[in-house]
Chains A and B, each alone.
Chain A
């Protein structure tokens, strides 16, 4: 299982890019942290999620 924003999901083996395609996140507004490190956007298609990974997707909203 892969933990995404606190929820355990059965997506081990998928890349971050493949997982994001199944969601409604706007790619221009997010930062993705995996196991304590922020993943460069150029690596989303190459980073394969593994059992036990913990991922946090921050989706920024406007205002400041």
Chain B
């Protein structure tokens, strides 16, 4: 049986009615990279795809694990699949015409310039503090034309209201409470991780709309 889905023109028209032509044209022509497709990255990607971002670069070396299902945008039937492949499928269900570029690799300071060269905005969505710092230092010192939207501090049951966005330089935004480490106490709770992912996705949309203050 053939499933009938809306045409690209119909979806574009619906987005323009929602966002206005001027903003939607900016969103449609943007390329955003999502580095790490876990609790932050999978939620950022889903949100940006729904918002009508034209092209996403999705990077993660890992496979979907049963321990990911409580906060990451994967299905139980996708356990064991590469996150890049599983997330691409899930994104296409809602946004069938989005352009996706996937890289199933571990990000290092050596491959960052090549992997991220086409991105207008880069979302840091890793789990480990050392990898977060490595990406931030590499992008912000070697790729001065990129925006980086990073995250730090979203674990535990702290208040939703302590998740915030700060602008540290013209091109460096940081979301989170900056203190709640996943290694302490309760670990990661879906709702609070999603809040932080939403801060990151919203910062991307605001940058594209040329609203640069968080």
How far apart are B145's CB and chain A's nearest CB, in angstroms? 14
What DSSP secondary structure best describes chain A's contact surface?
Answer: mixed
Residue of B nearest to A36 (CB): B169
For the complex, is B76 an interface residue (Cβ under 8 Å from A)?
no
B155 CB–A CB distance under 8 Å = yes
A16 to chain B, nearest CB (A): 13
List the A residue with the shortest CB-CB distance to B141: A40
Residues of A within 8 A of B193 (CB): 63-64
Give residues in A with beta carbon < 8 Å to B: 26, 28-31, 33, 36-41, 56, 58-64
A-B contact pairs, 27 of them (CB 8 A): A26-B129, A28-B130, A28-B133, A31-B133, A31-B137, A31-B172, A33-B168, A37-B169, A38-B140, A38-B169, A38-B172, A59-B152, A59-B178, A60-B129, A60-B132, A60-B136, A61-B180, A61-B181, A62-B181, A62-B182, A62-B183, A63-B182, A63-B187, A64-B38, A64-B41, A64-B127, A64-B188
